[in-house]
Amino acid sequence: MTHSARATRISAVLLCSVWGLAACSSTPAPGPVTQQVPPTVPQDSAAFVLPPGVTYKVGKPYKIANIWYYPSEDYSYVEEGVASWYGPDFHGKRTANGEIYDMNDLTAAHPTLPLPSIVRVTNLENGRSVRLRVNDRGPFKSSRIIDVSRRGAQLLGFYEAGITRVRVEIDSAESLNIKNLALSRNPGDMPVIISSPRPSVAASDLPPLPTTEIPPPTGASAAVQVPVAPKAVSTAPVKLPLKSVPADIPRGGLFVQAGAFSEESNALRLAQQLDDFGETLVVPVEVNGTQYFRVRLGPLDDQTAADDLLAQVKSYGYSDAQVVRN
């Protein structure tokens, strides 16, 4: 080895002493271990995910507990009222548009908005806001305008309280986008929009206008009858008693009991979901001092019909359904 090469070798060794052996190695020294942090996901991003097989649905007018509801494509919808949440009783079951309900998704139930559609729900008690995908029908309880999933209630901050005051606004652009996506997947499922029933009224059916007397003008011999405009009549739904088993159904009739709930609104929700299968009844009953609401379909002609209907109900995820006699 020449003197020049030896000097170069010594210089390299000295530099390695100063920089550290790792710096002179052909393999880089491992750096400090850092934990990979996933990118932040907006809390409401899941609202725009459309599960496979979901169809677009508006639906025909329907009646629950003697109250009529009229589904429509209302893309200017804004309403304030009470929100509640629903979870375990329906987790894993089918929603009104046929998908499987997951209480950990950001979804909601609404009585009349298109399925699916996107709404922004704002908790008026704390200012929290989240967008949810409407995929179910409900709630069917006085003053409540929307039911959100358990996850939605957690993000809105009323999971423990159970209910809260909210403002619900439809996101028209996103709702139209998700509608078009659903229709592009299932082009044969174009919705048929049925308008609200409008009964015809004949003039002869109307009561006479009320009248009132005013002092006659000077020289008049009789009072003048002046018609008074009728007072405005509220169009709000009238709350009537819960639908129960008609008295003319004989004892011993066959029914399929799909479920029993301690919350009336949950029973009404299931009754609406199963309405396509036939006549549904919500039967209040007291068991050991506790009020329950049984959801039944029927009466059915024979055991074969009952078994066939039972299989259909179970296919919706209600594995505890059973055939019963009135």
**In the chain, % of residues over pLDDT 90:** 30
Q: Residue 59: CB partners within 8 Å, gap ≥ 6?
A: 71, 96, 115, 137
Query: Does the pLDDT of residue 242 top 50, yes or no?
Result: no
Highest mean pLDDT among 154-168, 184-198, 260-274, 293-307: 154-168
Q: What is the pLDDT of residue 221?
A: 46
Residue recorded with tokens 């375990």: 88
Q: What is the pLDDT of residue 28?
A: 46
Rounded Cα–Cα distance for residues 216 and 222 (Å):
7
| Burial (0-12, 13-18, 19+ Cβ within 10 Å), 50 | middle
* Cis bond before residue 139 (omega within 30° of 0): yes
Rounded Cα–Cα distance for residues 47 and 177 (Å):
12
Other CB atoms within a 10 A radius of the CB of residue 160 amount to 7
305/204: higher pLDDT: 305
**In the chain, % of residues over pLDDT 70:** 65
Rounded Cα–Cα distance for residues 116 and 129 (Å):
19
pTM of the model: 0.58
Q: What is the pLDDT of residue 25?
A: 41
Q: What is the pLDDT of residue 179?
A: 92
Query: Does the pLDDT of residue 247 top 50, yes or no?
Result: no
* Cα 4–chain centre separation: 84
For the chain, which domains are there?
Answer: 45-185 (2.40.40.10), 254-325 (3.30.70.1070)
pLDDT digits (tens, 9 = 90+) for 50-87: 787 788 999 889 888 788 899 999 999 999 999 999 98
pLDDT digits (tens, 9 = 90+) for 220-234: 444 444 444 444 434
User: Of 292, 295, 272, 276, which is closest to residue 284 (Cα–Cα)?
Assistant: 292
pLDDT digits (tens, 9 = 90+) for 121-162: 999 999 999 999 999 999 988 789 999 999 999 999 999 999
Please work out, in degrees rounded to the nearest 5, the angle formed at the alpha carbon of residue 82 by the alpha carbons of 79 and 85: 115
